[in-house]
Amino acid sequence: MFEYGDLLVTSLLVGSISRGLMLNVDYRQFPSYPHSYVIHLTLGMIASALGALVLPALAEKEYIAVTFLTIGAQQFRDVRNLERESLARIEETELIPRGKAYIEGIAKLFEARNYLALITSLVTSIIFFYTNIYLAVSGGFLIAYLLHRFMKGPYVSDIARVKIVPINFKGKNIGIDDVIIMNVGEEEAFQKWYNEGIGIKIIPRDEDARATLSNVGQRQTILHDLSILMGVKLDIGVQQFTPLARLNLDNGTLNIIMIPQEPDEEFIKKAVEKIPVVESSQRKPLKSKMGRKAAD
């Protein structure tokens, strides 16, 4: 294996760097820094090492060594379970929970990125073996970029139109259009909603989007991310200011009411548009023959 030293080192570095570039603490503050960084970077290096070893092992006819890939795959599945359990344990500390669908999506993402590091390292080693280090490095990072782009899912703006609308007040009931979302009994709370409440309509572009927005997991994802991005005037025991989402059953529009800390309507609209569509919430009824007929 020593004769493959340059190949192994190059593949390991390209795979590890690619995994490192995908680590980003954004508004969700996950993965946390620095502890989760250490975990994910270490696993990324292990995945890269496994990918780098495949070609030399095959070239040396050490076929048993390739079975380490199965062990690595099992470890990456354990990563998904670890992330799921970790997020589930801190879920009760969130004023607006992520929801199970969002947690599962995050767990799958971190598992998949280890496979991405493995594939990047493997492709780098193959290119290095047949060409040279310069093409190997370029090809490895190109593969990592393409795979990363492929793994990116749609955003709310891809499936729906977002509008900021006034909240309707009918007696003590508040809502949007004819959809009643909640009843406010306390006069102080009612005045708070009246003066500071914001209404949001998410209008699906087609029947696929309508089915996706009707998913409870997707609705919870929107409420959670929106509360982080724009803030909410909410605390423990002050549940009357909790953001809520209700469907218009006639047209599939998702109606949201909230009292944001940042009341800028333009930024609220952009924030909703950039919220991801959770993988497990996506529905495609138009892909089926019966679904297309029902839509017609």
What's the confidence (pLDDT) of residue 247?
Answer: 93
Which of the pair, 279 or 254, is modelled with greater confidence? Answer: 254
Share of the chain above pLDDT 90, in %: 36
Burial 251-267 (b: 16+ CB within 10 A, else e): ebbbbbbbbbeeeeeee
Average pLDDT, the chain: 85
Question: Residue 278 is inside which H or E element, if any?
Answer: none
Confidence band of 224 (pLDDT split at 50, 70, 90): very high
Convert the pLDDT of each residue in 52-103 to its tens digit: 888 888 887 777 766 777 777 777 777 788 888 888 888 888 888 888 888 8
Q: Tell me the pTM.
A: 0.84
Residue 188 has pLDDT above 70, yes or no: yes
Contact indicator for 81, 29 with CB cutoff of 8 Å: no
Confidence band of 178 (pLDDT split at 50, 70, 90): confident
Share of the chain above pLDDT 70, in %: 91
- How far apart CA 89 and CA 99 sit, in angstroms, is 12
Convert the pLDDT of each residue in 8-33 to its tens digit: 899 999 999 998 888 875 555 566 66
Separation in Å, CA 262 to CA 232, 259, 269: 8, 9, 12
Residue 153 has pLDDT above 60, yes or no: yes
Which residues are CB-contacts of 286 (< 8 A; sequence separation ≥ 6)? 206, 207, 208, 292, 295
Cis bond upstream, residue 166 (ω within 30)? no
Nearest CA among 107, 106, 118 for reference residue 49 = 118
What's the confidence (pLDDT) of residue 72?
Answer: 72
Question: Residue 296 is inside which H or E element, if any?
Answer: none
Confidence band of 234 (pLDDT split at 50, 70, 90): confident
What's the confidence (pLDDT) of residue 174?
Answer: 92
What's the confidence (pLDDT) of residue 203?
Answer: 95
Confidence band of 2 (pLDDT split at 50, 70, 90): low
